[in-house]
Chain A
Amino acid sequence: MLGSGIIRGFIETARNFAGSYCSRERLTTIQYPEERLAQPESARIMPFLVFDGADPKAGLRCTACTICEQECPPQCIYIIKDAVKKPDHIGKMQMQPKVFDIDISVCMGCGICAEVCPFDSIKMDQVFELSSGERFNTFLLHKEQLAKPNEYFRKLHPSDAAETDARRAEDKIKAEAKARAAAAAAAAPKPPSSPKPGPPPKVPAPVPEHAEVAT
């Protein structure tokens, strides 16, 4: 019968219409902003920098190695190294950035910077409400705006953060043990060696798979 296909279509539409009152499957609307979609742990929008402890300046994990700057596909990271070094979590003196800027009006949120960072410093944020009427002053984020505490990172990416924290704690224990051993060796009476305490132990920073530290 001509029109039977249309009628069958109408029945489908009616089923969906009626179903939208009782079935969550058919009524999928999220009442943003009152209601928010839970973002998965892996969600990534824009990068941020992790710092340990309470002071963003002293605890910043970034060592200004510029790997992220080189690998960033749209080249939206800009780093200037500081002349002054500071100790990292295992007490080794590391470079630190004087300027660390990310232009989020260019950033494509690909997450390659977080992937290649060998110091667990740059991670992906999940805040997407970034709109602004002003282009020039709001979208160039400086080091101060980018730095977020480790607790924030733990909240966003619990499993990733747990793995990172465990690894860093292990590094620290290893470094301390090595320092103790070095100190003990230095303290032992050896005729040629001088009695002053040994230099800080040289422990390579944790390097994840596939990453290579820039030369």
Chain B
Amino acid sequence: MIDASLRQEMARQGVVTTTVQELYNWGRKNSVWPLQFGLACCAIEMIAASMARFDIARFGAEVFRPSPRQADLMIVAGTVTKKMAPQVVRLYNQMPEPKYIIAMGACAISGGPFRAGYNVLKGIDRYLPVDVHIPGCPPRPEALLEALMALQKKIDAQPLTGPDRPRHLDANAPGEYLVPECGEHDLVPSSNSQLWQPPVLVRGE
């Protein structure tokens, strides 16, 4: 390893040094291809983010892939209903590692304004591991870009070895998640208990 001050000095002299990890993560973070996948209102803002004014292409993420097999990032943009939830999980399972999820908008995080509905899933993190949440209803396109930058930072910081290495480099880590089934009254099971462990919050009067 080269220490930081030496590296700065070398960069000043015109010598660029890097590590395999940095090069690998640099490549990954600058070509995050999202899945072309819109659920509701937030999808329109997602499209707006990919259009001329906000231009998500400046972050290397304009290549919206129609097939999950070619995508790195799932932007859950909108309300996930109970009828749609199995399909969302299945799509995620079909994506190759490494894969990430941005939960865009209040509905995707928690059910949002529609959480009182009988057919609304109260947050996609009941079934899938979310990397970045964006509150807002809908979030502005800039907020999506900001979340994308947060995700890039997260990718950049991932070590390739050791216990904190990302899931795709860990043979024992789960790559596929439980797909819920449509039951007679509700989804079965109603959450993936391995993923979904909300804190206990008690309200007094």
Contacts and interface: CB of A to CB of B under 8 A. Distances in A.
Contacts of A21: none
Contacts, number: 104
Interface of B: 52-55, 58, 106, 109-116, 123, 125, 130-137, 139-140, 142-143, 145-147, 149-150, 154, 198-199, 203-205
A37 B142 contact: yes
Nearest to A74: B113
B132 A106 contact: no
Contacts of B53: 28-30
Contacts of A75: 116
A116 B58 CA distance: 41
Given A136-B199, A139-B135, A128 B113 contact: no
B135 A73 contact: no
Contacts of A30: 53-54, 142
A147 to B, nearest CB: 19
If over half of A's interface residues share one DSSP class (helix, strand or loop), that class is named, otherwise mixed; here it is loop
Interface residues of A, number: 33
Interface in A61-117: 73-75, 78, 80, 103-109
Contact of A135 (B109, B112, B146): B109
A69 B179 CA distance: 37
A139 B109 contact: yes
A28 to B, nearest CB: 5
Interface in A169-185: none
B154 A105 contact: no
A132 B104 CA distance: 11
B109 A32 contact: no
Nearest to B59: A32
Contacts of B143: 128-131
A104 B205 CA distance: 22
Contacts of B123: 135
A31 interface: yes
15 contacts: A29-B58, A32-B145, A74-B115, A75-B116, A104-B135, A105-B112, A106-B110, A106-B113, A107-B137, A108-B113, A130-B143, A131-B139, A134-B133, A136-B198, A139-B133
